[in-house]
Structure 1
Amino acid sequence: MATATGFREHDKVGRRLGSNGELAFQDCRVPAENLLGEEGRSPFPGGTAALGRRIPRFQAINPGIGRAAYEAALEYAKLRVQGGRPVIEHQAVGLALADMAIRLEIARNMIWHVARASDHPEAYADGSLPDLPLQIMTKVFTSETARQVCLAAAQIFGGMGVMRELPVQKYVRGALIFLHPESTNSVARPKIAEALAGCRRASSMAGE
């Protein structure tokens, strides 16, 4: 009887409560009736393209991680005194926090937008929503926003930003993890480009 020849749980830098691992089988036969989808093809119709209109999952986590880092950095910047005044009054720090707040607000609104699209798929047909992979676009923007905001927060904390006694380093590690679920951003961007090309082709044909 075939058995699992090996199991290894991944030691991730972040999101450690969500376990990932590898399971290897040797001489294992799977009955034909247990086949998912077609042989040689993904069991998930549409592959990563199908992510375009699914309910947002990881996307909604990204602004949360970023906001936690932002709020920690904002509080620290108000308390930490450098050069005789709170560091938030130093232009570089104030502008960094302003940029963090802007990005997080955009990310939050993108989440609401894609959630509405998931609840109302008919909005694509009636033209209320653009025929674009909003889910993938939101994933790219929110994950990169979380990374940028968390790294900026670590910079505001200075040397304390890499100390395990403070939560900022945990936010940075968590933000790095969410660059990869569902599809990496380097894979997602070509999908968005393909959708844009399709829209342009459709628009060009309509104008002819």
Structure 2
Amino acid sequence: MSKNPSHFISDRRGAREASWGGEADWATGTAENVAVVDGVLVGQAPTQSRQISGDVELYNEGANEDNWRYGGTEGDPNTPLGGTLTKETDHLFADADPNPDGFNAVSWVYDDIIDFGGYREIVVESASQENEGFVAVVLSTKKYVDIEEFYRTGGSDDHSGPYPRKTETLDVSGVSNEYYVHLMARDNVISSDGYDDSRRSEGEFYYVGLNI
């Protein structure tokens, strides 16, 4: 879906060379959310599409960062505990505030819901300097964190800890629903010994892509 306003850019010929002869001149311009009907510009609504076609980069070391938004806190979008979410030069950073009563997660969420029926895998490049909970890619039908499909990065389901920058391929071939993509860091400050403020997680996301 195009997020640009309606506009038309001509071929920008200089004043001495310019003349407006009709349809051929309209054809040399570039239209965005606008059509030319009988020599008149007519506004059009942006094309609505939930299926991003072909292999696509959702994020790549700063590229497409405007498509990522604050994704709320796990389970409760109204009273989030919060955390630190910053867009660094080459990565998206997420750090959940510790929750003495249980878990807390914060995420970046991709702005458009995506139909996963046409995709085979998610490729994610991430790292963590502090990971006693977990860092994950989460698919949710909501724009706040509500885990429906879960893909942990940097470790297995029974292991956590810091990990160096690495690229992982996550199989989503069995997913056929429409989901928002979340990049999540979730704390784990409640352990068998009780509350421990040092058991927290942060994630650094450098690349996210979808492959058909």
TM-score normalized by the length of structure 1: 0.24
More strand as a share of residues: 2
Where is the helix percentage greater, Structure 1 or Structure 2?
1
**TM-score by structure 2 length?**
0.24
